[in-house]
Structure 1
Amino acid sequence: MKRALIGGFVMMGGLFIVSTILLTGAIYVPDSTSWWSGRSKFWFAIIGGEQYGNDAVDSLFLGFPLIIGVILSILGLVILGREYYQN
């Protein structure tokens, strides 16, 4: 029971981080005025990119926290699955 509780909190923490970053990117994209490289302005706003000429990079640079959130979510899910199949 203790591991299931820990796994649940780890997974919920990771999902909270990921959903907050995605929501922040969705709110930020309409206000972004910079040139982006690639196909999606949404992912450029979250992950970022290189500077293009003398323009400032108008990005949130949240790629690393997004990866940490995904890892925490998967880790919590693995803990919950392992606890479920052990009992």
Structure 2
Amino acid sequence: MPHPSYARIADVLVTFEGTWTSYRRLPPHAWRGSTGVGLCHLVYGVPADADPAEPAELAGARGAFVHCAVPGVGDHPWGTLPHSLEPVR
């Protein structure tokens, strides 16, 4: 969790980056920082069988208006597209 003073200089502030498992276990809560900054959550390791609406619902419940949830894992999970943006086969 970033220190609230970062909110004074940010337009968007990442308040969560971690695995899908950790994100799902995280209780809903509002960040105690500035209300003028947009919050962002970055989630990786989302399984293909996860409900596609769940990441957005959890982000909204936790006060994040920007979120990205990808299936990637390892050293560079952000090199993958969210399941909803993958081409249909």
* Bin for the TM-score computed over the shorter chain: under 0.3
TM-score normalized with structure 1 length: 0.26
Ranked by relative contact order (alpha carbons within 8 Å, sequence separation 6 or more), the top structure is: 1
* The structure with more radius of gyration: 1
More helix by share: 1
